[in-house]
Amino acid sequence: MQPVIEQYSAILQGHEPVYRTTLGEAYCGDSLALLDALPENSVNLVVTSPPFALQRKKEYGNKEQAEYVDWLAEFARKVHRILTADGSFVLDLGGSYEKGTPARSLYNFRVPIKFCDELGFFLAEDFYWFNPSKLPSPIEWVNKRKIRTKDSVNTVWWFSKSEWPKADVSKVLTEYSDRMKKLLQDPEGFYTPKVRPSGHDIGSSFSKDNGGAIPSNLLQIPNTESNGQYLSGCKTTGAKQHPARFPAKLPEFFIRFLTEPGDVVLDIFAGSNTTGYAAEGVERRWLAFEECREYVAASSFRFLRKEVDSQTMQALYSEITAGRSVDLSQYTAPAQMQLR
């Protein structure tokens, strides 16, 4: 496996990585410029969660709804160029309301129309990330006036460069239900094959053990991280936590589903670099682009072994925030995550 260090550092001229691990590199800078520095057909998967088009301005920066789709399309156009022929672009977008009214904005639905009609993408599938731990919002319509329900689902668009992107659902099978487990233990005693009212004939193959169930496009993943190396490192060093982190299992699902070990995964709005962390844990090479150096510096904590002491952690953070490039490989270990 060729290290990302050798493959990309020389190509991204003038853009030295903020830090590197065994499998990846994190860069600080404008993603539009960094994307231009990558060669065509060089990245297998781009998975990211950009700042949403919310009415209230956030500290990490977000565009108004009126300009959002065109702004995001600038990045998507460059993503299309650097994707491999069978590559994918996975985009997590949250919904929003129109300013001052309880009417939903359509901006996140205009995104796939723009990308497919004008940029050459194909919509491979739409996913919905249900976060059961999400707080009630918007406050005005849900908590105060009580005229809308809690918005707890993000749309996750899976775009592809061609009609036939690389994908293998057998890599993301879920655990069988208790009912299915009973069926597999005693197929004849638990289920009698028959023709359903629709005319669909469910035969004996229905009871075959495939190692798990095919997942649906509704992904139930709580966003409740309360410990771990990232938050521990931020607390130790006084670093600012990124306010809009998604759980590692969200990008991990798509990384397992749409790539193979050794493929290259890129996040163009990396934030706390959850995507790079997930990619490293499943032996994919990765690149992370983020404009805020403080966020990039703090994201390095994700990759540190638990044995790394607070003094070393502080020293690494200080080196990065001071503008120096740091090799983390001697302090890191694979995340060793498992999708459950």
Give the closest residue to 284 by CA, choosing from 265, 307, 268. Answer: 265
DSSP 276-310: HHHHHHTT-EEEEEES-HHHHHHHGGGGB-TT--H
Q: Cα 276 vs. chain centroid, distance in angstroms?
A: 9
Give the mean model confidence (pLDDT) for residues 277-282: 95
Give me the pLDDT at residue 340, please.
34
Q: Is 186 a catalytic residue?
A: no
DSSP assignment, residue 141?
A: I
The mean pLDDT value of the chain amounts to: 86
SS3 63: coil
**Which is catalytic among the residues 17, 51, 88, 92?**
92
The rounded distance, in Å, linking the Cα atoms of 277 and 24 is 9
Question: What pTM does this model have?
Answer: 0.88
pLDDT digits (tens, 9 = 90+) for 230-276: 998 999 999 988 877 889 999 999 999 999 999 999 999 999 999 99
pLDDT of residue 195 exceeding 70: no
pLDDT, residue 62, reads 52
Calpha distance 168→24 (Å, rounded): 23
Contact 313, 231 (CB under 8 A): no
What pLDDT band is residue 137 in, cutting at 50, 70 and 90? confident
Domains and CATH numbers, the chain: 4-172+215-226+246-300 (3.40.50.150), 175-213 (no CATH)
Query: What does the block give as tokens for 226?
Result: 């309360």
Q: Is the pLDDT of residue 55 over 90?
A: no
pLDDT attached to residue 58: 47
Residue 66 has pLDDT above 60, yes or no: yes
Average pLDDT for 18-44: 95
Mark whether 9 is an active-site residue: no
* Least confident range of 102-106, 190-194, 289-293: 190-194
Residue 19 has pLDDT above 60, yes or no: yes
Strands (E), 77-199: 83-93, 122-130, 153-160, 194-195
Give CA–CA dist 25/232, Å, rounded: 22
Share of the chain above pLDDT 90, in %: 64
Q: Which position among 17, 31, 50, 112 bears the catalytic label?
A: 50
Which of 49, 96, 160, 300 does the annotation list as catalytic?
49
Q: Which runs of consecutive H residues, i.e. helices, occur in the chain?
A: 4-8, 31-36, 65-82, 107-118, 139, 178-185, 187-190, 229-237, 249-258, 274-281, 293-299, 310-321
Instruction: Respond yes or no: is residue 232 known to be catalytic.
Output: no
Per-residue pLDDT averaged across 172-190, rounded? Answer: 70
pLDDT score, position 134: 84
